[in-house]
Structure 1
Amino acid sequence: MKKISINNLVEFRSKSPKSKHSFAADLKSGKEKVSTGKGGNYWVSCVSAINKSYKLNDFQPLANKRDELAKKSEETSYKRTLVMYKRNIDILYTFEKFDLEKWRPSKKIEYIRKPKEYSTLTIKELQIQVNPNYIFRFKKDGIEEIGAIWFIAKINGFKKEELGMFADILYRFLDFYYSEKYVINPQYCIAVDLFNGSDINYLHLKDGKTLKILDSILDEIKELR
């Protein structure tokens, strides 16, 4: 059984009935046709800088990366590469408008390294990939709590409920692997759409402010297998 990324699920929503059947059949047969959802290295420049910026709580890495990409743009005439650089630069500008403090529960947070074996979560007999950029723990009122943040870039961005799937899987991931030791804080299970500058945390889903669609999509895939 192949692993499914949340991006796979986003793409599945827009497929025709025939394509949905093919997706489910390929998934069951284990064909490599089912993508990993990583999107290659298209966004690696901006996401690497954003990771560093978030961890340091400093926007300087964004400016450094923009300068680097601008220089690379001057050194190529290949149109697709120029478009890629421009999109990465645009995302860096978008991220610089964010308030990083709202994604940080405390100035005293400790980052937790995710073991390789924690990269998937089985739901409804399907293996879902979970790759947050950071997992962090912190103390609130003397209680050890945990949260995670996931930066996702996609051309044209995500719909609100699609971005909510990333926050949903983050909460379930933390609950499955870390709940014996920490209290999961739903406010800090955060998914950030880097393309259009929106963010959603699990509390939005829990309070009904964002539609939860993860289970219904997985049910549909399971029925087609």
Structure 2
Amino acid sequence: MAINKLPIKKLVEFRRLSKGRQQTFANRLKVTKEANSGGGDYWVRSISTISNAFRVNDNALIKAKLEEVSNLYNAEQRSQTKKMYKRNIDILTKYQNFDFSEWWPSTSLNFLPKPQSILEMHGLPIQIRPQQIFSYGAENNQSVGGIWLITWLQGYKDEDLGIYSEALFRYLSSYYSEDYIINPAACMVVDISKMKVIGYDKVIDGEIPSLLDASIAKIKAHLN
């Protein structure tokens, strides 16, 4: 295997490059033997807090984190770190009065443990890391879904979010399909900077193109 893990974000980045730069990008993945998620900690304050607020459906967590990060921002002297705090503050501010039940597919969710994040697809170890997985519905007819919170300074397109949602659907299908119904609409990816939610149902319906397999095949060809 050329690499240990390939985060979905790397597939999205790869798709943005010219043909020449795609090969260079793939070569770097082979050299490092691991495709790091790339600055995930940069957004940890906003992503982890929004995830926790979603789980308990309580934006009081957002307001508390806003105060904490604002204090860090005011005390920080380094411009780059200050900018990081400010960007997290900007995102958290959008959610301080948000009703997280808008993202719940049911009035009652049972949160489930997350299996390992690596799922092999077409011979490549794809890393899939949703923040929350949940079940809901009648005892003998339960559905399962998940939510994956992401953001990127370069900005995600709808088709990028579609790649994430399709990967999430495959992940849940791989681990939970024996005991649950996998609800495509509840396989949600949220671009938290835009407050935009895309479910896998939009890919199934053709609203957003299905690009996951083609993206994996293309990067795999460069890794061989």
- TM-score with structure 1 length normalisation? 0.91
SS of the aligned residue for 2:6 comes to: coil
SS of the aligned residue for 1:43 comes to: helix
Tell me if the contact between 1:189 and 1:202 (Cα under 8 Å) persists in the aligned partners: yes
Matching residue of 2:46: 46
**Which of the numbers 189, 196, 199 marks the counterpart of 1:198?**
196
Structure 1 runs of 4+ with >6 Å offset: none
Partners in 2 of 1:99 and 1:212 — Cα distance? 30
Partners in 1 of 2:18 and 2:88 — Cα distance? 31
**Structure-2 change in CA distance of 1:49 and 1:186 (3 Å):** same
Matching residue of 1:89: 89
**Structure-2 change in CA distance of 1:146 and 1:206 (3 Å):** same
Matching residue of 2:26: 24
Write out per-residue CA displacement over residues 75-121 of structure 1, whole angstroms, 9 at most, x where no aligned residue: 11211111111100111122346542232122321111113xx2111
Gaps of 5+ in 2: none
SS of the aligned residue for 2:87 comes to: helix
Partners in 2 of 1:132 and 1:191 — Cα distance? 8
Matching residue of 1:150: 148
Partners in 2 of 1:97 and 1:204 — Cα distance? 27
SS of the aligned residue for 2:108 comes to: coil
Identity within the alignment, %:
36
Write out per-residue CA displacement over residues 155-207 of structure 1, whole angstroms, 9 at most, x where no aligned residue: 14200100111111000111111101111011100000012221100111111
Count of residue pairs the alignment pairs up: 221
Matching residue of 2:205: 207
Matching residue of 1:71: 71
Report the alpha carbon displacement of residue 4 of structure 1 after superposing the two structures with TM: 0.7
Q: CA RMSD in A?
A: 1.8
Gaps of 5+ in 1: none
Partners in 2 of 1:61 and 1:163 — Cα distance? 26
- TM-score with structure 2 length normalisation? 0.92
- Equivalent AA in structure 2 for residue 7 of structure 1: K
